[in-house]
Amino acid sequence: FTKDQATVDVYLMSNVSAFSSACFLMLSTTLLVLFNTPYTALTLVPLAFFFLRTQRRFRRTMRELKRFDAVTRSPIYSHFGEALEGMPTIRSFRAQPHMTDMNYRDIMNNQRFNYAILALNRWLAVRLELIGSIVVLSAGCFAVLQRQQLGAAALGLTLSQTFSITGLLGFLIRMTAELENAFTAVERINEYTGVPQE
């Protein structure tokens, strides 16, 4: 309950603020690129569908991996606490190798999910880099084709802003996942407040 309350009090508002800022930056960058190179919209529409599908898959998988990580981390802490409590008994029965093996098994089980989380983050980064590269390529090609209508300053501004799209996409996905987790804490607090007092 305390962790959920801290999440709501501390992280929720900062995450909402960061998410709003990222949405505004993404919208303004997209509008700037579309204003200067309108034909870029031909590539942005299919890329938007690809992005949404990637985001949905990432969030669903990350949610499950985080849940498995939390479930497999709990035995590590409980086993450690039990080992500290029962240290004299463990030593008297010379069960240190057995306890070490149990601890090692629990840690390795948890590390499998940590590794999967890292692999999932790399999976996401590759797809976001692909989307960002296609946007930069299309904006660059269409800007060059329209170089007579665009000035050098507008062309440079458009191209420099397209380079930030990859980072903004990654930030948006991560903030969406963080907000989802923070609102889960709000749901748990609402559930706790509905429990009748004893």
Cα–Cα distance list, 188 to 58, 60, 194 (Å): 23, 19, 10
Share of the chain above pLDDT 90, in %: 34
Each residue's pLDDT tens digit, 90-122: 889 999 999 999 999 999 999 999 999 999 999
Residue 190 has pLDDT above 60, yes or no: yes
The pTM of the full predicted model, rounded to 2 decimals, is 0.78
- In the chain, the N- to C-terminal Cα span, in Å, equals 17
- Residues 17/24, Cβ–Cβ less than 8 Å: no
Whether the Cβ atoms of residue 22 and residue 171 lie closer than 8 Å to each other: yes
Rounded distance, CA 6 to CA 184, Å? Answer: 13
